[in-house]
Amino acid sequence: MIVRGVDFVVVNVGDIDAAVRFYRQVVGIDAVLTEDSPNWVEFDTAPVAFALRRDPADPGVNAAIALAVRDVDATVERLRTAGTPVFIEASDSESCRTALVTDPDGNLLLIHRRHDGTAG
């Protein structure tokens, strides 16, 4: 696996609308949203984006690091073969292909590739 850069950092939240208000009004992030759905909001805070992921079961449990790779599926298979737990299988969103795996301590790693091929 060759990591091309850190694409974004994710924070799990219980109420995504309340979290957006908090990060905009209290923290002061005024960046444009590059993705806005009921379960995912991503702020364009270049060079590393800041995302909110709706997770009502475990809000605030941890953050996740998105690692940009050239081929999500091949990377996931390589990690799986090495015994890495795959939490969420690879799938496409509006802007990227991503899968979620865990490191040996249970920290979340998003294996990620933007559809436009950019990284970092």
**CATH number of the domain that 23 lies in?**
3.10.180.10
Q: 3-state DSSP helix/strand/coil percent for the chain, to nearest 5?
A: 20, 40, 40
- Total of domains in the chain: 1
Cβ atoms 88, 102 nearer than 8 A: no
Percentage of the chain modeled with pLDDT above 70: 94
The Cα–Cα gap between 64 and 83 comes to 19
pLDDT, mean of residues 87-100: 93
Residue 55 covered by a domain:
yes
> Which structural domain range is residue 80 located in?
5-114
Residue 119 covered by a domain:
no
Identify the band that residue 61 occupies on the pLDDT scale cut at 50, 70 and 90: low
Q: Which residue from 54, 24, 23, 59 is spatially nearest to 37, judged by alpha carbons?
A: 54
Is the confidence at residue 105, as pLDDT, over 70?
Answer: no
pLDDT, mean of residues 88-101: 93
Residue 73 covered by a domain:
yes
Average pLDDT, the chain: 87
Residue 120 covered by a domain:
no
Residue 68 is predicted with a pLDDT of 87
Residue 17 covered by a domain:
yes
Is the confidence at residue 97, as pLDDT, over 80?
Answer: yes
